[in-house]
Chain A
Amino acid sequence: MFYREDQRLETAMGRMLQIGVTVAALVVLVGGALYLSQFTGPIPDYQRFHGAPAAYESVHGVLLGVGRFDSGSLIALGILLLIVTPTCRVISGVVGFSILRDRFYAAVSVIVLIILVLSFCTRR
């Protein structure tokens, strides 16, 4: 009984990951096609480190760029969706363990979620 409910939670998590990665890959694919059709000049300098354009470092900047049909922003949006996917799995852990009345593991999931949120607050 106990394990069967775990199994259902796990299946839901697995499906969520699969949907997330598919959507993210499609967005990156569309952005990539747009990128290759727009960019015809020489290859950017990837040898020395300059850092990504500041517009790609915030969700706000990325969304503004997507509104302008900027190909880089569209790829960045796909990457953001990809990063959010495992985060959703942790959120589903918080919800799922709460439903299973497993307070300890609901708390563990909350801790992991807090660490993930903290990681997005770091800046250069």
Chain B
Amino acid sequence: MSVLSFTLGVFGTSILAAFLGALTGLGGGVVIVPVLCILFKMNIHYAIGASLVSVIATSSGAAASYVREGYSNIRIGMFLEVATTLGALLGAYLTAKVSGNWIGVIFGVVLLYSAWASLRKPSTGTKSPRPDSLAMRLNLRGSYPVEGSKEEYVAQHVPAGFGIMFVAGTLSGLLGIGSGAVKVLAMDQVMKLPFKVSTTTSNFMIGVTAAASAGVYLGHGYILPGLSMPVMLGVLAGALVGSRILVNADVKALRLVFSIVIVALGVEMISNGLTGRL
């Protein structure tokens, strides 16, 4: 195989992975890493490096359209980024210490969790009984548009949310993914923020979190230009098309099919890791 056909193969695969990632809300990184490892027999550290670059691209590329809708909250985002960037530093540091096989096993577990999380119904934003005093002091509140009017919200359980964000950052740095599923878990399920606010603010945070890991990855030589190029451009293209279609498509059946693919990839990563083939 020549460099050209290899590059085009990686490019096409990245488009498809990001397209499916956008439709299901999982993001491209969680799909592209196992595909590069299993299908293209790539070293997991190189795959993680290329994936992380593409994660920054999609997060930044999607931000403008999210901002226009007026759901994201910059204060909550910035505050929680302290946790995610610190976690990312720890995760990226661990990636250099932990063997590729163990990273594969952890990756597989995260894939299985993601498949389960994508099928779970979003919480309907249960009204909190009383405002959280710490959240009020930290000004972790805002309003978002609901049918023409503004609905107010205040964050709950701030320390727990902050802690889970640290874990989300660690996973992002360790596995080269956005770990949006864990970020949304922290904001939607624990901090009880409205679902739309959680997903859009999470997207905002993913880019900053990944940038913290990327600094470490660059210093360790995980980011290969020749490999990152088709992955980044492919994921960016796939995510843009995927998010356009998402607006007016019924993705229920597709989501189920995709979850099965994710489970298969997860099982494959775990078995490859346990048998020492990564």
Contact = CB atoms under 8 A, between A and B. Distances in A.
B130 interface: no
A31 B225 contact: yes
A118 interface: yes
Interface string B147-172: 00010000000000000000000000
B233 A21 contact: no
Chain B, interface size category, equals: 35 or more
A115 B86 contact: yes
A82 B270 CA distance: 32
Given A25-B233, A115-B89, A3 B142 contact: yes
Contact of A20 (B6, B60, B88): B60
Interface in B30-54: 40-43, 45-46, 53
B225 A76 contact: yes
A112 B3 contact: no
B71 to A, nearest CB: 10
Interface of B: 1-4, 6-7, 40-43, 45-46, 53, 56-57, 59-61, 63-64, 66-68, 70, 72, 74-75, 78-79, 81-82, 85-86, 88-89, 92-93, 96, 100, 138-139, 142-143, 150, 207-208, 210-216, 218-230, 232-233, 236
Interface of A: 3, 6-7, 9-11, 13-15, 17-18, 20-21, 24-25, 28-29, 31-32, 35-36, 39-44, 46-54, 56-57, 71-73, 75-76, 79, 82-83, 85-87, 89-90, 93, 102, 104-105, 108-109, 111-112, 115-116, 118-124
